Chains A and B, each alone.
Chain A
């Protein structure tokens, strides 16, 4: 007869850069259930909106999570801009698109590295992060920061990119694309990697739908939804299709993310080719009054920003629904019935971001 035992996992654990705690209920080596307990990173950022005015809050919004910092800042700004009926200049929209896609590339490369680390492929880990440095350098020349950028503001962008910078970027992207092709061969074709990823952690299309999964986690199960298609920033002018896979295992999630990086290269190239001349910000007058829901596709999936203004400079409420939060039920489902040794990889395949989930 098998014995039930409970193994605590986290909050401090070698494969997790961030603290999350799971109680794994085991039957021999098999996980029967996983019970999460969170709250280690909770700071109470939403409440901070009562102490910082709506323009200062952009900096707080950016620090919801340092990986998608640009997108958090942008999502908040777009929501407030909708409330205040501000139309940002076209060039600012394109800049937002370029920086968004750069964030996606950097986030996915980071994830690939962590995944490689989780299955013990140290050199692949180093390679992915080495490649990621190029994106960080691009961020540094264009914004001045490596992870926190502070280029968003209500009404546009604080900085512009000149033609020279853009042409340099396309060159760097070409180099990166070539190198990524090499690295992705290992990720997708290597026997050892496949044996860790293939056929583990299935999530069917129905489950993904029922459990409300988002982002690459959902798209790897065959649902072609992407909030970029809703048309914020310059995405309406850009030609792209959501990337999906029909399989739904860990390998499919890896595959989808790698193809998304290539897609992001393509989107940046399109944006660089089409970017119009002009201003990058408009002056903003008045105070926000009214409410708005803004949906943004982050590297981990759809994030929702709710903003409610009351006509003073302090907003009534800011609410963020982050992609990892939506993916947790799906993750717990995939953990059921897996082997204990697969737990770190399965947790990683949703690309968890705890600091934005707990804020």
Chain B
């Protein structure tokens, strides 16, 4: 697979149990080493291309997730990591869970698992990278047309 740019990721913990949260960090660590693909973890939404969200959405973190998303420059890709980010998972019936991340922002890639394994997360991020390239191409085309 061809990677044309080094995608930077930002990670936000919605209402996860920390399980997926540390697995995301783990996949950046020496053993799994997502950084070999040029991926850098950043804390600044304006630097980021890929948004990794773990955990479901509740009333209090919904505006935070939306704000981070809106601050990211185009093109951007959202990856929901773990089953609770996909649809609420085991916490679906909790009174304070509105559902998966797609209740707040559009999600492009869903990574399953409880907890999502680092291999799955890496796979998700690589899919996101491919999607990012596609979105960039589309943006270029649109810009030409206008």
Contacts and interface: CB of A to CB of B under 8 A. Distances in A.
24 contacts: A12-B45, A12-B64, A18-B13, A19-B13, A41-B13, A41-B58, A42-B15, A42-B60, A47-B94, A59-B90, A66-B18, A66-B19, A126-B30, A133-B29, A133-B30, A133-B31, A136-B26, A145-B115, A146-B118, A147-B19, A148-B19, A355-B15, A355-B18, A355-B21
Given A60-B90, A63-B17, A130 B30 contact: yes
Contact of A17 (B22, B44, B94): B22
Summarize B's interface: helix, strand, loop or mixed: loop
A110 B17 contact: no
Given A12-B64, A147-B19, A147-B23, 19 more contacts: A17-B11, A40-B58, A41-B13, A41-B61, A42-B58, A43-B15, A43-B58, A43-B94, A64-B17, A66-B115, A67-B18, A133-B30, A133-B31, A145-B115, A147-B18, A147-B22, A148-B19, A148-B114, A148-B115
Interface size class of chain A, counting residues whose CB lies under 8 Å from the partner chain:
35 or more
B68 interface: yes
B76 interface: no
B93 A51 contact: yes
Interface string B1-44: 00000000001111111111111011001110000000000111
B63 to A, nearest CB: 10
A40 B64 contact: yes
Summarize A's interface: helix, strand, loop or mixed: loop
A43 B56 contact: yes
Interface string A320-359: 0000000000000000000000000000000001011000
A130 B31 contact: yes
Nearest to A17: B21
Interface in A59-85: 59-60, 63-67, 69
Contacts of A59: 90
A138 to B, nearest CB: 14
Interface of A: 11-15, 17-19, 39-45, 47-48, 51, 59-60, 63-67, 69, 110, 126, 129-130, 133, 136, 145-148, 353, 355-356
Nearest to A52: B93
A12 B29 contact: no
B29 A126 contact: yes
Interface size class of chain B, counting residues whose CB lies under 8 Å from the partner chain:
35 or more
Interface string B82-102: 000000001101111100000
Contacts of B23: 146-147
A48 B95 CA distance: 8
B102 to A, nearest CB: 18
B30 A65 contact: no
Contacts of A147: 18-19, 22-23, 115
A43 B18 contact: no
B112 interface: no
B124 interface: no
Contact of A66 (B20, B45, B64, B96): B20
A48 B17 CA distance: 15
Contacts of A12: 12, 43, 45, 64, 68
A313 B12 CA distance: 37
A353 B21 CA distance: 12
B90 A18 contact: no
Contacts of A13: 43
Listed from nearest, the 6 A-B pairs whose CB atoms lie closest are: A66-B19, A14-B43, A66-B18, A44-B94, A63-B17, A44-B96
A94 to B, nearest CB: 25
Given A11-B61, A67-B22, A148-B115, A41 B15 contact: yes
Given A41-B13, A126-B30, A11 B64 contact: yes
Nearest to B117: A146
